[in-house]
Amino acid sequence: MKDKFWTWLMIVLVAIIMTGVVSSAVRFLRADDLIAKSLGAGTLLLVAIGVWFLYHAISFGVRTERLGKILAAEGGLPEDTVERSPGGRPNREQADVQFERFRAQTEAAPQDWRSWYRLAVAYDVAGDRARARRTMKQAIDMQRSADPA
C-alpha cells in the first residue's frame, strides 16, 4: 500500500508539471514569433509523448497487479524464498535456482500465462529487469487473449 501511495504521488506531481509545461507551451504558441511558436509546438509534442509513456507504464502496472491478484486467489503466486542482504540484494545462487525452476515450468507449459508471470518474477529477482518486463508483457498478452472479458 505504501508503494502505491508513492507511485500515485509521483504521478500527480508529473501531471502538475505537465500542466505547467502545457500552459507555457500555449503561451509560446500565442506569440507572434515563429521560433516561439516552434518551441510551443515542440513542447506540446514532448508532453504528448510523455503522456503516452505514462499511460503505458500505468496500464502495465495495473495489468500486472490484476494478474497477481488472479494468481493469489488461485494460490499460484511464487513464494519469495530468496534471502536478501541488508542492502536488499538477492542471494545470487538462490535466485539462479529459483529462476531455473520457473524457466523449466515455463518450458513445460509455454501456453500458460501463469508460468510466464512466475518466470517474470524470477527474472526480476535475478536483477534482469528488461527481460522481466518483456516476460510479464508476454503473460499479460497471453491472459488477455485467453480471457478477452
User: Per-residue confidence at 149, pLDDT binned at 50, 70, 90?
Assistant: low
Q: What is the pLDDT of residues 88-122, one digit of tens each?
A: 888 888 888 888 999 999 999 999 999 999 999 99
Residue with cell 518466470: 119
Q: What is the pTM of this model?
A: 0.80
pLDDT at 148: 62
Q: What residues form DSSP beta bridges with 118? A: none
Confidence label for 55 from pLDDT (cuts 50, 70 and 90): very high
CA 22 to each of CA 28, 31, 48, 50, 120: distance values in angstroms, whole numbers, following the listed order: 10, 14, 10, 12, 37
| Alpha-helical segments (H) within 89-128 | 92-108, 113-126
